[in-house]
Amino acid sequence: MARLLQGITGLLLLLAVSSISAQSQADLFRKPGVIGDSLSQGFFGATVEKKTQDWAYPVLVSKQAGSSVTYNELKGPFINLEDVLKGDCGPICIGLAIIGGNQKTYSLPSHAGITGAEYTTVLKTSGKCEDITAKKQEKDWYWRTWYHYTYRWVTVADCQEPDKFHQFGLRSSGTQMEVMEKNKPSFVFGSAGANHVLCTALHTSLDCLDEPRFKRDIREVFRRMANIGSVKGGVLFTVPNVTAIAFLEPYKDPQNRAAYSGLKAFFRSSVSSPSHVLDATEINTINNFLTMLNNEIKAQGAANRYAVADLKVIFDDLKENGRPIRHSSGYSPGNAQANWPLPGKPGVFGLDGVHPNMLGHAVFANELIDSINSRYGYNIAKVDEYSAWFYDSLNRNPVDLKKFLTQTIFGQFISWVIGIFT
């Protein structure tokens, strides 16, 4: 009898704990909010459009947690390389995509992640102004006396037009930080650190590294986030090794010049300047900066009691071992690698070698779900990675981009254009 009572008591306790956990999860995800960059907005190929926004990690994680986010739906700017290379987007489609615009808008979206953003722009860039804090001196004309018309210098706002991603993504809602303060979210997707260091890989230069600015602005973002009384939790992630992404590939100078050897952008067939590569010394500097950046992200996560996913460790494992893709029946198309898909070789990145494809975002989302479950004691279900691979058109019908760029006239022209602008 005593054992029966203990069993009943244990069962009731288990049910009570489960109920509390479910209620806590519902409360935490009552109103998710998102700040972030291209990873959160859904940049893919060379653009942002609704279908890519729909598979971005904040959308997937929120959905798995029983909630949702709202975002201004884009149709460009720029183009989806996959559609163009497969012949699914002709001249008119390309023209309209380059111009860009919105399919649907919200006066105050809960998802404010914007391509190209970092913690500095989270604070300063709105859909109307590149820097809402910028000032300039301007002449203010007035009548000093009834016969003396003159001027004085006054300080006014210097509102320069932001890029189109900010224009279409934020519109009139303010900066990303202001959107969060207006929305008062219960849970925050708060990662916007990648572009503080990814810029080195994309431009093969160290000029963009600025530790004081990074630390000042990430700390200010989370100071203001902590002052939003509605926020009960969140999730951050560290930045992977940016010198190991598919965008870069090893290059050995034929003349063995150290400054001309290292890592170059994949689309370059040769190197004619030290600025076209990251040499060994520069790679070491980047890795040191990355360690500092990730330590700061972990510190902010701990201080604010957020979940933190160590994507650097996860990416390193993906780079070395790949990611198994397996159906419940046991069938597997193989292991997804840390590159864009090739025939018979699944991959988690899009054709730029930087941003995830549909499968990549599912993998990404599941790692965040793991960290959220671990931090808050939940049991949020995972995204089905096999289904993400199955419905990922780039994985199911790959494009050999390097072959296209080197063996077709149009591809060689694209490489030339990319080389001018990077």
pLDDT digit string, tens, across residues 348-400: 999 988 999 999 999 999 999 999 999 999 999 999 999 999 999 999 999 88
Q: What distance in Å separates the CA atoms of residue 47 and residue 38, rounded to the nearest whole number?
A: 10
pLDDT of residue 390: 97
Q: What distance in Å separates the CA atoms of residue 14 and residue 200, rounded to the nearest whole number?
A: 51
pLDDT of residue 272: 92
Tokens matching residue 347: 């991959």
Q: What distance in Å separates the CA atoms of residue 383 and residue 60, rounded to the nearest whole number?
A: 7
Cis peptide before 240, with omega less than 30 degrees from 0? no
Q: What distance in Å separates the CA atoms of residue 195 and residue 209, rounded to the nearest whole number?
A: 10
> For residues 125 and 131, is the Cβ–Cβ distance under 8 A?
yes
Q: What distance in Å separates the CA atoms of residue 150 and residue 172, rounded to the nearest whole number?
A: 36
Among 337, 313, 364, CA closest to 246: 337
Q: What distance in Å separates the CA atoms of residue 237 and residue 200, rounded to the nearest whole number?
A: 19
- 248 conformational bin, left if phi > 0, alpha if psi -120 to 50, beta if neither: beta
Distances (CA, A) of 269 to 79, 146, 160, 199, 415: 23, 71, 37, 21, 9
Cβ-Cβ contacts under 8 Å for 122 (sequence gap 6 or more): 35, 175, 176, 177, 192, 217, 221
Q: What distance in Å separates the CA atoms of residue 394 and residue 357, rounded to the nearest whole number?
A: 8
- Name the residue with tokens 């109103």: 31
Tokens matching residue 287: 């890795």
pLDDT of residue 3: 52
> For residues 233 and 187, is the Cβ–Cβ distance under 8 A?
yes
CA dihedral 335, 36, 203, 130 (to 10 degrees): 160
Q: What distance in Å separates the CA atoms of residue 66 and residue 25, rounded to the nearest whole number?
A: 9
pLDDT of residue 22: 52
Pairing label, strands 233-237, 187-189: parallel
Distances (CA, A) of 361 to 90, 146, 148: 27, 68, 66
> For residues 404 and 413, is the Cβ–Cβ distance under 8 A?
no
pLDDT in tens, the chain (422 residues): 455 445 544 544 444 444 444 559 999 999 999 999 999 999 998 899 999 999 999 999 999 999 999 999 999 998 888 998 888 988 898 888 889 999 999 999 999 999 999 999 999 999 999 999 999 999 999 999 999 999 999 999 999 999 999 999 999 999 999 999 999 999 999 999 999 999 999 999 999 999 999 999 999 999 999 999 999 999 999 999 999 998 899 999 999 999 999 999 988 888 999 999 999 999 999 999 999 999 999 999 999 999 999 999 999 999 999 999 999 999 999 999 999 999 999 999 999 889 999 999 999 999 999 999 999 999 999 999 999 999 999 999 998 877 776 666 656 555 554 554 44
- 3 state DSSP class of 336: strand
Cβ-Cβ contacts under 8 Å for 111 (sequence gap 6 or more): 33, 34, 40, 58, 59, 69, 70, 71
pLDDT tens, residue by residue, 175-200:
999 999 999 999 999 999 999 999 99
**DSSP label at residue 408:** S
pLDDT of residue 319: 92
pLDDT of residue 84: 86
pLDDT of residue 19: 42
pTM above 0.75, yes or no: yes
Among 379, 316, 387, 389, CA closest to 17: 379
* Spacing of C-alpha 305 from chain mean position: 22
pLDDT of residue 126: 98
